[in-house]
Amino acid sequence: MASRRTFDLRSQPAFSFVALFTFFMLYLPIAALVMYAFNAGSSMAVWEGVSLRWFYEAAGNERVQEAALRSAVIAMFAALIATIAATMAAIATTRTKPYPGLTFKYAFINQPLMVPEIVTAVALLIVFSRIKVWTGYSGLGYLIAAHSAFCIPFAYLPIRARLENMDLSLETAAADLYATKWQAFRHVTLPLLRPGIIAGFMLAFVISLDDVVITEFVKSGGQDTLPTYMLGQLRRETTPEINAIAVAFLLFSVLLVTAFFFINRRKV
């Protein structure tokens, strides 16, 4: 009998062309964005030469500085809270025998991923508006709380995946050597889990930093983050300054992913 040939998608006609064309169309808008960030003129459609003018404009804009600092503060606290909560939830849902209701807990934790973000934003707006009336407080706490809740499933998924792939024999050996549960967690589980925790924190940080919908509904006056500031500028006056800010966002994301790649390569 003739051996059955294995299907290989890469050997199909025009596969390379389709793949390259897809990547080209995917990154073409980003390339145009980066190019016009260096435009010397004020138009986003007419090329007038190469200049760093708009990067200097953005860096010297006090509103951009305030929005960037506010975004970083909110994202840092939200990612930290979400990562701690996600770590505890991941340990609680993986270091246990299957029982009725465990699948429901998975779905409940990942609920913000399945519900449209606009629904979550409207729900938070209603709840927080009543709390603002009762307490009179209108600070950044609402944005931090909203971003933390929304980012928990993003931090939970890589942490849970890391826990599910971990070998339990080391934890069992620690228990056999009379280590308490806390000692086993601190000296065995936590070091092995560190790459997953870092991945969860970085993912939550980027999601919080990039959020527009929930921030737009929850924020009070004068609490613009960098994405909502950019959205407001696009509604009023469009200049290559927005491109420059977007390129800075892109560069930061690339650096963050690169840092995680090298951190994750280290053997624990």
Q: Please, which residues bridge with residue 39 across strands?
A: 50
CB 83 within 8 A of CB 154: no
In sequence order, which ranges of the chain are alpha helices (DSSP H)? 15-37, 53-60, 62-94, 102-109, 111-114, 117-135, 141-164, 169-176, 181-184, 190-210, 213-218, 226-236, 240-265
**pLDDT (average), residues 78-87:** 94
CB 164 within 8 A of CB 210: no
Q: What are the backbone angles phi and psi of residue 231, rounded to the nearest 5°?
A: -65, -45
pLDDT digits (tens, 9 = 90+) for 92-111: 888 777 778 777 888 888 88
pTM exceeds 0.75: yes
Cβ burial, residue 17 (10 Å; 0-12/13-18/19+):
exposed
pLDDT digits (tens, 9 = 90+) for 37-80: 888 888 777 888 888 888 888 888 888 889 999 999 999 999 99
pLDDT at 69: 92
pLDDT at 1: 46
pLDDT band of residue 143 (cuts 50, 70, 90) is: very high
Is the pLDDT reported for residue 148 higher than 90?
yes
Lowest mean pLDDT among 12-16, 73-77, 143-147, 237-241: 12-16
Residue located via tokens 């993003």: 154
At 42, is the secondary structure helix, strand, or coil? Answer: coil
pLDDT digits (tens, 9 = 90+) for 229-246: 888 887 777 778 888 888
pLDDT at 8: 67
**pLDDT (average), residues 167-186:** 75
Average pLDDT for the chain? 84
| Higher local confidence (pLDDT), 190 or 229 | 229
- The whole-angstrom separation of Cα 24 and Cα 194 is 36
| Higher local confidence (pLDDT), 82 or 235 | 82
- Six-digit token string for 68: 């960037």
- The whole-angstrom separation of Cα 192 and Cα 166 is 8
Lowest mean pLDDT among 13-17, 55-59, 119-123, 220-224: 13-17
Which residue in 140, 143, 129 sits closest to 208, CA to CA? 143
Listed by start position, the domains of the chain span 60-265
Is the pLDDT reported for residue 114 higher than 90?
no
Q: Please, which residues bridge with residue 50 across strands?
A: 39
CB 73 within 8 A of CB 65: no
pLDDT at 4: 59
pLDDT digits (tens, 9 = 90+) for 246-268: 898 888 888 877 777 776 665 44
State whether the Cα torsion 98-100-103-104 is positive or negative. negative
The maximal CA–CA distance of the chain, rounded, in angstroms, is: 81
In sequence order, which ranges of 95-189 are alpha helices (DSSP H)? 102-109, 111-114, 117-135, 141-164, 169-176, 181-184
- Overall fold of domain 60-265: MetI-like fold (1.10.3720)
